[in-house]
Amino acid sequence: MAAHQAKCPIVLRIKEEEKAKKTYYAELEQIATELKELACKFSEENQVLVQENKELKNELKRFDEYKEAFFILKARREYLEEENSSLKEQLNELSVLCSGS
C-alpha cells in the first residue's frame, strides 16, 4: 500500500509542490538576507556620505569667510591707497609752499 501511495500521481505532485515550495522559501530567505546586507552596506555608505557632506559644508563656510575677509581687506587697501595718494598730494603742496617761502 505504501508503495502504491508513493507512486500515486497526486501524492507525487504534492511532494513535488512541497519540494518546490521549500526551494522557493529558501530562495526568498536568501534574497531577504542579501537585501538586509545591502541595506546595512548602504546605511554605512550613507553615514560616510553624510559626514563628508558636513565636512564639505564646513569647508565651504570657511571659504566664504575667507572670501568675505578678502573683499574687506581689498576695500580697505583701496581706501588706504586713496588716502595715501591724497596725503602725498598734500605733502607735495606743503613742500611747494615751504620751498616758495
Q: Which residues are CB-neighbours of 11 under 8 A, at least 6 positions away? A: 5
- What are the distances in angstroms from CA 34 to CA 14, 27, 66, 76? 30, 10, 47, 62
Q: What is the pLDDT of residue 1?
A: 52
Residues 7-42: b if buried by 16+ CB within 10 A, e if exposed: eeeeeeeeeeeeeeeeeeeeeeeeeeeeeeeeeeee
Q: Are 35 and 41 in contact (CB under 8 A)?
A: no
Q: What is the pLDDT of residue 62?
A: 97
For the whole model, what pTM was predicted? Answer: 0.54
Q: What are the extents of the domains in the chain?
A: 2-100
pLDDT per residue, tens digit, the chain (101 aa), is 555 555 788 888 999 999 999 999 999 999 999 999 999 999 999 999 999 999 999 999 999 999 999 999 999 999 999 999 999 999 999 999 888 76
Q: What is the pLDDT of residue 101?
A: 60
Q: What is the pLDDT of residue 100?
A: 73
Residues 60-96: b if buried by 16+ CB within 10 A, e if exposed: eeeeeeeeeeeeeeeeeeeeeeeeeeeeeeeeeeeee
